[in-house]
Amino acid sequence: MVDAGIGALRQLRRIHVDSDEIDAVLITHWHFDHYAGLPALFKSRKRTRPLYIYGPNLSIPARLYLIGLLRSTPVYFQAVTENFSKDCGDIHIKTVPTVHDILSLGWVLTEIVPGERSGKRRIVISGDTRPAQAILSAAREADLLVHEATYPDKHANRAYTHEHSTVTEAANLAIKARVGALALTHIGHRYSKLSALKEAEKVFPLVLVPSPLDRICIEAVSDGAARENSGWGHVKIMGNR
């Protein structure tokens, strides 16, 4: 699970996922809307095996909010840096530095397929960030880039001031990285998903704007397949469970 905002447990229950099924939560940064759902997630678990939380060093507000729970529940927290990587079940997780108004990290998720050297699906998740060279490098030829797009291009100054990205900036980064598909997230509440989709499609050929609880299906593409152009991925939204 990547981040756990307000209502995260409720959303899990809506798609019939038991919190005991979650082994790890990957935190991008310690802004409240990205970790406010952790206490409910902790308290709902019945099994004694710890839940692993990986993220940047705790901010002071996050430490005050979570410290009692971290001491009283079977939760293991590890502060990670931009060089962190490990196998987590059948997924290899790796951090990538991003550019936000507090310490923040994106995450690269690569499936582990025993005996297979090619065709492994890879997702890069930006978290909240300005367009970052590190994200561009990590996302090269990834099957899916999940990138924030808080503002439309007409509000580029706001994006710069608040250290977020515009829709067009996310699409341009996806083009440069030659990713298979681009999923836009963190779109500001004042802006419509349809307008974000249309703006991004002017730049990038395969754009998804998922709604809460949507599933995204990523079909494996062999390494030998042509990846010279952007938008080569076999990726589609399957809708809610």
235 burial via Cβ count (<10 Å: 0-12, 13-18, 19+): buried
Q: Report whether pLDDT(227) > 80.
A: no
List pLDDT tens digits, range 21-72. Answer: 999 999 999 999 999 999 999 989 887 778 999 999 999 999 999 887 777 7
Mean pLDDT of the chain: 92
Packing angle, helices 167-177 and 193-201, rounded to 10: 40
Rounded to an integer, the average pLDDT of 142-153 is 97
When pLDDT is cut at 50, 70 and 90, the band that residue 75 belongs to is confident
When pLDDT is cut at 50, 70 and 90, the band that residue 241 belongs to is low
Where does 148-224 have alpha helices with state H? 156-161, 167-177, 193-201
Q: Which domains does the chain have, with CATH numbers?
A: 1-80 (no CATH), 85-241 (3.60.15.10)
